[in-house]
Structure 1
Amino acid sequence: MAPFQHSKLCFFSLSLLLLLLLLPFTVTSQSNRNVSLGSSLTTGSNSPWLSPSGEFAFGFQRITTDGYLLAIVFDKIPERTVVWSANRNNLAPGGSRVELTTQGRLVFTDPSGNQIWAANTNGPVASHAAMLDTGNFVLAASDGSSLWESFEDPTDTLLPSQIMERESRLIASHSRSNHSEGRFKFIMQLDGNLVMYQRDEHPGTPSEYAYWSNQSTIPSGYRLVFNQSGFLFVASINGTVLDYVFSNGGSSQDFYHRVTLDYDGVLRYYEHPKRNASIIDE
Structure 2
Amino acid sequence: MVSEPPAGIELFCPECDYNLRGLTSDRCPECGLKLDFIDAPESPVPWERRAQLGRLRTYWQTVFLVLFRTKLFCRAMYRPVSYRAARRFQYVTVLHTLAALFLGLLSLQWQRPDLLQQLWLTGWPLVAVGAITGLALLALTGLPSYFFHPRWLPVELQNRAVALCYYANAPLAASALVPLASIAAYHAVGPPRDLQPVLVLVTAPPTVLVLLMWWSIWNQFAKYLLRRPTRVAVVTWLLPPLGLLLTAFLLAVPALVALYIALIVSSLR
TM-score exceeds 0.5:
no
Indicate the structure with greater helix content. Answer: 2
- TM-score under structure 2 length normalisation: 0.21
